[in-house]
Amino acid sequence: MMIMQPTEEVVVSLLLRIFDLSGTFVFAISGAVAGARHRLDLFGVLVLSFVAGSVGGITRDLIIGAIPPASISDWKYVAVSALAGFVIFFWYDKLGRFRNAVLIFDAAGLALFAVSGAGKTLAYGLGPGPAALLGMVTGIGGGVVRDVLVSEVPAVFRTDVYALAALAGATLFVGGVYLHLPSTLVAIVSAIVCFAIRMIAIHRKWQVPVAKSLDPPHN
């Protein structure tokens, strides 16, 4: 009996699905860690884990017409967010020793979501420009709401190279797809590039220019 080999389209679809769920988990971890650092109770930690892991994808799905959003209709997204929240809540005292955990998980989630968001947008028939932009939105959405809920200025609104890293990863993926390069390889490389840009920016303190203020400096 002849065994059908999976097409590249099927493989890429599965890979992007894995990226989406993995991005949900690592962003949920970052949300839960932020909640634990701010001494929230179990419910607060679970809310932050779900928000951080899901808001970007929900926003993307609503824009492209994927209704109801996967993060709500598919139990796997809720499950991985809850798992991340419980893990951090009950073992934060042991995991808390790892410094910059939020930044690392945030960068990983940013990279995975930027690629999966761009890929899903392309799958729904939108062009390269919207795909790159919605890849960025998928990457930054959860982190923005997470930071707002713990009364912090979101990283994307500060001078950090954050949204630009997501846009770079999403653009690289879209460009590779339109150049008919191996999509699986392009997805992996694009995620790595996004993660690397974000981590190098943190390490080297790269900043996006801000407008000069007319106000006198604070003493």
CA 98, CA 91: separation in Å to the nearest integer?
Answer: 12
Closest CA to 184 of 4, 11, 7, 5: 11
Predicted confidence at residue 46, as pLDDT, reads 95
In this prediction the pTM is 0.83
Closest CA to 187 of 199, 198, 175, 196: 175
Dihedral angle sign, alpha carbons of residues 61, 201, 207, 51: positive
Q: Helix, strand, or coil here: 127?
A: coil
pLDDT in tens, 166-213: 999 999 999 999 999 988 899 999 999 999 999 999 888 887 776 666
The proportion of the chain whose per-residue pLDDT surpasses 90, expressed as a percent, equals: 52
Continuous segment of H or E residues that includes residue 147:
helix 128-149
Predicted confidence at residue 1, as pLDDT, reads 38
CA 36, CA 146: separation in Å to the nearest integer?
Answer: 12
CA 137, CA 3: separation in Å to the nearest integer?
Answer: 40
User: For residue 56, what are its two tokens?
Assistant: 């970007």
User: For residue 23, what are its two tokens?
Assistant: 């991005």
CA 104, CA 24: separation in Å to the nearest integer?
Answer: 14
Burial of 206 (0-12, 13-18, 19+ CB in 10 A): middle
- Asked if pLDDT for residue 122 goes beyond 80, the answer is yes
CA 103, CA 199: separation in Å to the nearest integer?
Answer: 8
